[in-house]
Amino acid sequence: MKQKTGLGHYIYIVWDYFYSNIVTLVKVASHTFTKADTVEYPEQMPYLAPRFRGRIVLTRDPTGEERCVACNLCASACPTDCISLQKTEDESGRWSAEYFRINFSRCVFCGMCEEACPTYAIQLTQDFELAEYERQNMVYEKQHLLIDGPGKHPDYSFYELSGKAVSGRAKGAGTQEAEPVNLKSLLP
Amino acid sequence: MSPVVNNLLNVVLILVCVVFGAALLTWLERRLLGIWQDRYGPNRVGPFGTLQIVADMIKLLMKQDWVPPFADRLIFIVAPAFAMFVVVAAFAVIPMAPGVGVVDLNIGLLFFLAMTSLGVYAVMFGAYASDNKYAMLGGLRAAAQMVSYEVFMGLSLMGVVMLAGTFNLRELVLAQADGWFIGPQIVGFFIFFMAGIAESHRTPFDLPEAEHELTAGFHTEYSGMKFAMFFIGEYVSVLMSAAMITVLFFGGWLGPAWLPPLGWFLLKTMTLVLLMILIRGSLPRPRYDQLMTFGWKFMLPLALINLLITSALILI
Amino acid sequence: MNATIDNLVTIYIDGSAYQVKAGGHLLEACLGLAQDLPYFCWHPALGSVGSCRQCAVQLYQDAEDQRGRMVMACMTPVAEGMRVSLSAPMASEFRQQCIEVTMANHPHDCPVCEEGGECHLQDMTLQSGHTQRRHKGHKKTYHNQDLGPCVGHEMNRCISCYRCVRFYQDYAGGDDLVVLGSRENVYFGRHQDGCLTSHFSGNLSEVCPTGVFYDKVVSDSYTRKWDLQSAPSICSHCSLGCNLSVGERQGQVKRVTNRYHSQVNGYFICDKGRYGFAHSNSDQRLYQAQVQPLGDTEKVSCDTLHGLDYVAQIMTELGAENVFGLGSPRASVEENFALQSLVGKANFYAGHNAAQGVIQTQVLHQLTQPNIYTPSLKQIEQADAIVIIGEDLLHTAPRMALSVRQASRNLGFAKAAAIGIPKWQDEPVRIHTQNQLSPVISVTSAATDLDDISSQCIHLAPSDMCNFAGALASAVEGQFDGSGLSAELNEQVQHSLALLAGAKRPLVISGASSQSPELIDLAAQLALALGRQSGSEAWLSYALEAANSMGLGLLNKDAKHMDDLALRLQQQTTPSALIVLQTDLFSLSTQAQALCENLRHLVVLDQLPSATSEHADVVIACASVFETEGTYVNNEGRAQRFFSVHDKLGRPDAWRSLTHLATMVTQAGHRSDTITQLASCTKFDDLCDLVSQQGGEFAHWCDVAPSAGFRIAGMKVPRQTHRASGRTSLYADENVSEAKQPEDVDSALGFTMEGTPINKPSALIPQVWSPGWNSNEAINKFQQEINGPLKGGEAGVRLLDTSPSLPLAEVAVIPSITLGAGQILAHTQNHLFASDRVSSLSSALKQRNTAISARLHPDTAAIMGLVDGDEVCVALAQTQWLLPLTVDASVAVDLLLLPNQYQAPISAGHLPAAVSLSAVTQEVN
């Protein structure tokens, strides 16, 4: 494209710049008379979208057992590395977290942990009021994170589908599981 | 009242008013920006949030008075004080109303220009003493920007000086009794207004502290009251630019008698301050090279042409 | 087409020409060329069986052929001009479909699977492109078995690749893990619940491509692979120096896995190496220095510097010439060297007894003889005839037993090769050879694990072993007339001679556990004789007492040992002090008590309390092998460096304590050259420089591993993986502000995730990972070729290859044992999971330790009037040991075998000895 030169063009550019700036000024100034989009929190609670990502909780499955199986995927997905946990196992073979710690002073509420969680255990809630006077109090342990209900996906139970034998659910008793193979059978 | 007491009262009152006015301006600006951005701004402390400055002051005063171990300690401390000093000193020559004003110098305008030019030292001192690469870049930008904009700032005023035939600011005001200089010197006003914003390095000319690129530019390492002095200094210089424009282009305290002269002066000044805040709330920051291009290739020629035409008209 | 040059052929993969080694198969070639091709049933050490159908590729007739046909890469030998395509739609769709069928029954339990995150099945599924299970039917389930404390079992996950049984039975010679059932119901397990008996069972967790067999010890305190902070390490449990990758999290060593070294351990390690790490996490660990000032009865805890200060005062007070040092074959060369420099060469003694001292100098002498070569474990696998004399390899050098087992197949490989079956064709080779094995002659005092592959097993008392070895050596030379041997033994010699007759690459293995220097010498004679017979270099390998026996021997060439020290202290008139490095005197020699009484001060540097540290007046806590850096010299003279896995937790390196001590002593006015030099060491590299200045075998010490200044693209080699998690949360319960990561000035490894995960020198590979390859199978991306050396070269330096022949040190002759009336010769019976202090702290290994008992031949027992199951009392001098008796027909006649147990009243160091044996009469109340 041929570059335009000459005084006329120069004046045009100057005018264009000034014109656009002045329009901006006028438009901004016109906002003096518009209503504020923000609300006066805390007197008035703002609207929180259903997928709002706030304080993280650990949920329980429909039978009331902890959903978290301490697989560590949330921790590895976490971009700020603010989740740490240690696996432990009870006599029935159920995995759970010995400790589960979230350092909320580092958490950015990105929800990657929730996305990574294969058991729907870790979920982000609507609560964002996490202020503390002591930074140390921002470190949440498992007892602070665990809630009594299932949260989202209320019917999901990981061990129902895992094929692993845990208390009350023997091999083959889960959903879509066949009876355990009988080695002594001679049938074809 | 003896003249000495009168003068002292004048000095102290003006100093206090200027500093507190600038402090109040921080609240005003945040409120206005809030309104223009469809939010509320600080509205919690005191009526309409006016006591926000008290809260801020307490916060800034309570902060640790920290000098980084790698900083040049003496210069680091002197720089913010110097920044405050030059702008307050420049205020001394501004005539606010008959009998209100610190000093009435024959070369008031030149004194004003001299003082604002010194402002660059504060920034450079602060930047140098911080021993921080962001501060260094901010300081370099500030120096180049202020030196560049100084040139046509002075030139833009020469039209007014030629029309009035004096450097004395009171006489300049009185010379506008028949008509404000904004009329004949509309271009001069425009140039001086831009340069004034640039001199107080406010958006869109806030490249020295451009927080998106340079964290906080020359005052990256500053905190507490030392930061506050840079901060308040900026608002004093906003006030000062507005007051100077009022004096030079809008007839100072002159106006119909239904307001006292000081009232007219304040009204005009505050309107200009509002305009400056509106500009901050609206215009984006240019790139650094665009800023320099704008200064040297547009503003300077414009100032010279303005001067040429003014002098030609006077001669005719 | 070029003719084959240097045994290379040109093949075309997806249109690009590559030169690969002839004789291999296509899968091996592709992987060696860093191509990604999925596989399950193939394993580099186990060969191909072509059952999983995963490595399907499209093979084309010629350049014009567009259609091609599908072949399994692992079953297809490479040939000149071969054209294949990995990305051909037909092959890649086939691979995807195969995986889909495999995955149809695979459970949805990755989150609760120990293999998750380092699972070969996960990797291969992703690689093949299968993402969604379309099959809606039910999944097969299986009952699991309890396979003991080390290996867990979750049969649901099985994909029937047969790798487990192929490793367990075919490679490691185990017989209790089998495949049961038929058709689609195959089951990999035991006939009934119970501990897997193979000492290599831990490898199943690495061999299994998914999580059927998992590491139970790791599962107890589980950490995903990506969260482990790892470092390259060397196994400290025996003299073979297997390479380990040790993983740590939150100050606890979490697991040990195999680290590939083409010449040493290859892909497998024994269970002791894998599970014997618990000592580092033990609550018995010494944390602080303890000082007991003269006259006090209690030890007072203090920090290490104060403890060292106290030792420095002792050294200044007594004078340097009165301070002695006792090094340890379990401590690194650097630690021993630091102690030697501190006390001076004249005052430095090795921490083993007289017999081991003589064995040490013998071993060095024999292995540096010009005609003798000591093979690496990989080279042992190439031997075609092996004579093992006096060493129960499975319990003293287990990985070597595994190598011997592979070597025994060489006859089969040769036979198969003769009709054109390559070695990697696992099943055809086995079918063709029908269990014909290369000759392995095993001469031991009782039955061993290798008896099943031995062509000839002879169970003899130590003295008869010497006679046999001597006779066989002269028989091979053709100078044996049968005189002086019993007819039975004579027959055995003739049988052996016949077995060894055609050997082209014979190997003799002996070792230190016989406690017989004579046997060491005779083994060398036999090796030389066999070497002459076969017309090649004599191959000779010794299993030594401990991880750094060889290193200590090289530092202490005059073979001064603990019994020498006891003698010297007896003659000493001035008060003296002894600094003991990681040794328990009481398990070494019966003279320990007397030795301690002749000392004014006993200083112990150790990580765990022992009988010696109880007696000591100063105890300096020091770092375990996982917390410090150092070098072990293995039985073939290969110096290999290990590195700290985590920061010391306040326990300083032993070498650093000793250099501190040198500094303190120097400041107090002592200025011998060696002390001043030692005092100038502030970093590990300084110490390595000092060691290399010793010259001789140590001249290339700095080449053992890159120094601390080594950087890749300006960065250290990271110990953590690039996706390590929890940095801002791990210790947030203690303090929400994260502490700075510790710095490591002593090695080129960093305690961070910053750095590149690839292109590392071989000695600095903390764990293997490559994009898309999260399991240990990623090793193929690190090898120059499959089963070949690592891309960074062979780690470690073989010190003895260039060494001139070392003379035999003049050492006191060990008095021969005379049997008194009613006495019997007692010898040590080693047990892999029981023999030392360090592994005795692993609860998993403890459970696998068999019940202890003394063992006796039935004839001997009958003469002594004892029967199986009797409680017997073994008396050696004042010491008595009550234990049950097992009558075992495999034990040599007139020999009592006593178990080598940590903290037993009679330890291996006290044996062989004449003991009296009597039945304990049951007291009837």
Going by their DSSP bridges, the two strands C8-13 and C797-798 should be labelled as unpaired
CB contact B281 to A (< 8 Å) = yes
Task: List residues bridging with C905 in a β-sheet.
Answer: none
What's the pLDDT at C6? 64
> In this structure, are residues A164 and C109 in contact, taking their beta carbons and an 8 Å threshold?
yes
The nearest CA of chain C is from the CA of A32 a distance in Å of: 44
* Residue B24 located in a structural domain: no
Cα separation, A62 vs A151, whole angstroms: 10
Chains A and B form CB pairs within 8 A to the count of 36
The nearest CA of chain A is from the CA of C227 a distance in Å of: 8
Closest Cα in chain C to A95: C112
Domain C823-919 has CATH 3.40.50.700: no
- For B131-200, the DSSP string reads T-HHHHHHHHHHHHHHHHHHHHHHHHHHHHHHHHT-S-HHHHHHTTTTS-TTTTTHHHHHHHHHHHHHHT
Measured between beta carbons, the chain A residues lying within 8 angstroms of B39 are 36-38
The nearest CA of chain B is from the CA of A8 a distance in Å of: 15
Contact A164 C109 (CB under 8 A): yes
> In this structure, are residues A133 and A38 in contact, taking their beta carbons and an 8 Å threshold?
no
Edge-first strand order for the sheet with C69-72 is C16-21, C8-13, C82-85, C56-60, C69-72
Contact A76 C144 (CB under 8 A): no
Contact C729 A73 (CB under 8 A): no
The nearest CA of chain A is from the CA of C198 a distance in Å of: 24
The nearest CA of chain A is from the CA of C735 a distance in Å of: 7
* Buried-exposed string C818-828: b where 16+ CB fall within 10 A, e elsewhere: eeeeebbbbbb
CA C211 from centroid of its chain's CA atoms: 25
CB contact A35 to B (< 8 Å) = yes
What's the pLDDT at C924? 47
Task: Tell me the one-letter amino acid at C489.
Answer: L
CATH classification number, C8-102, choose in 3.50.50.60, 3.40.50.300, 3.10.20.740, 1.10.357.10: 3.10.20.740
Closest Cα in chain C to A173: C141
What's the pLDDT at B255? 79
Task: Residue B94: give the domain boundaries.
Answer: 67-315
Contact C185 A185 (CB under 8 A): yes
> In this structure, are residues C768 and C776 in contact, taking their beta carbons and an 8 Å threshold?
yes
Chosen for mutation from C179, C248, C729 (greatest number of chain A CBs closer than 10 Å) is C729
Closest Cα in chain A to C224: A72
Measured between beta carbons, the chain A residues lying within 8 angstroms of B298 are 14
Rg value, chain C, Cα: 28
Do C and B count as touching (3 or more CB pairs closer than 8 A)? no
- Domain spans of chain C? 8-102, 289-352+552-775, 358-440+458-479+490-544, 823-919
Higher pLDDT, A61 or C670: A61
* Residue B11 located in a structural domain: no
- For C473-523, the DSSP string reads HHHHTT----TTS-HHHHHHHHHHHHHHTT-SSEEEEEEGGG--HHHHHHH
What's the pLDDT at C274? 93
Closest Cα in chain B to A25: B282
Contact A29 B278 (CB under 8 A): yes
Return the residue matching tokens 């509420």. Answer: A109
What's the pLDDT at C3? 43
Report residues of chain C scoring pLDDT below 70: 1-6, 648-649, 812, 922-925
Domain A56-162 adopts which CATH fold? Answer: Alpha-Beta Plaits (3.30.70)
- Tokens describing residue C489: 């033994």
pLDDT 10s digits, B172-191: 888 888 888 888 888 889 89
End-to-end CA distance of chain B: 49
The nearest CA of chain A is from the CA of B48 a distance in Å of: 13
Measured between beta carbons, the chain C residues lying within 8 angstroms of A177 are 138-139, 141
CA C241 from centroid of its chain's CA atoms: 5
Contact A25 B282 (CB under 8 A): yes
Q: B74: exposed, middle or buried (C-beta count within 10 Å: 0-12, 13-18, 19+)?
A: exposed
Name the neighbours of A, counting chains with at least 3 Cβ pairs within 8 A.
B, C
Domain C358-440+458-479+490-544 has CATH 3.30.160: no
Contact A183 C180 (CB under 8 A): yes
Return the HEC string of C637-670.
CEEEEECCCCCCCCCCCHHHHHHHHHHHHHHCCC
Nearest to A141 among C223, C726, C733 (CB): C733
What's the pLDDT at C821? 79
CATH architecture under which domain C289-352+552-775 falls: 3-Layer(aba) Sandwich (3.40)
Instruction: Confirm whether C358-440+458-479+490-544 and C823-919 share one CATH topology.
Output: no
B58: helix, strand or coil: helix
pLDDT profile of chain B (316 residues), mean per 10: 77 85 87 89 85 86 84 88 87 82 83 86 87 86 86 87 86 84 85 86 76 76 84 86 89 82 88 90 85 87 90 85
Query: Residue A188: which pLDDT band, with cuts at 50, 70 and 90?
Result: low
Contact B283 A14 (CB under 8 A): no
Measured between beta carbons, the chain B residues lying within 8 angstroms of A32 are 35-36
CB contact A32 to B (< 8 Å) = yes
Measured between beta carbons, the chain A residues lying within 8 angstroms of C735 are 136
Measured between beta carbons, the chain A residues lying within 8 angstroms of B37 are 31
Measured between beta carbons, the chain A residues lying within 8 angstroms of B278 are 25, 28-29
The CA distances from residue C693 to C337, C677, C688, in Å, are: 12, 11, 9
Chains A and C form CB pairs within 8 A to the count of 134
Nearest to B38 among A25, A31, A40 (CB): A31
**ipTM score of the complex?**
0.88
Q: Looking at the 3D structure of chain B, how many domains does it have?
A: 1
Measured between beta carbons, the chain B residues lying within 8 angstroms of A37 are 38-39
Edge-first strand order for the sheet with C372-373 is C372-373, C538-543, C506-511, C385-389, C440-444, C456-459
* Residue B48 located in a structural domain: no
What's the pLDDT at B42? 87
Measured between beta carbons, the chain A residues lying within 8 angstroms of C156 are 163-164, 171
Closest Cα in chain C to A163: C107
Higher pLDDT, A153 or C182: A153
- Domain spans of chain A? 56-162
The nearest CA of chain A is from the CA of B281 a distance in Å of: 7
pLDDT 10s digits, C21-62: 998 999 999 999 989 999 999 999 999 998 889 999 999 998
Return the residue matching tokens 């205020």. Answer: B91
What's the pLDDT at B233? 85
Contact C729 A139 (CB under 8 A): yes
> In this structure, are residues C839 and C847 in contact, taking their beta carbons and an 8 Å threshold?
no
The CA distances from residue C410 to C261, C457, C499, in Å, are: 21, 19, 14
> In this structure, are residues C308 and C679 in contact, taking their beta carbons and an 8 Å threshold?
no
Do C and A count as touching (3 or more CB pairs closer than 8 A)? yes
CB contact B39 to A (< 8 Å) = yes
> In this structure, are residues A110 and A79 in contact, taking their beta carbons and an 8 Å threshold?
yes
> In this structure, are residues C724 and C766 in contact, taking their beta carbons and an 8 Å threshold?
no
Contact C112 A106 (CB under 8 A): no
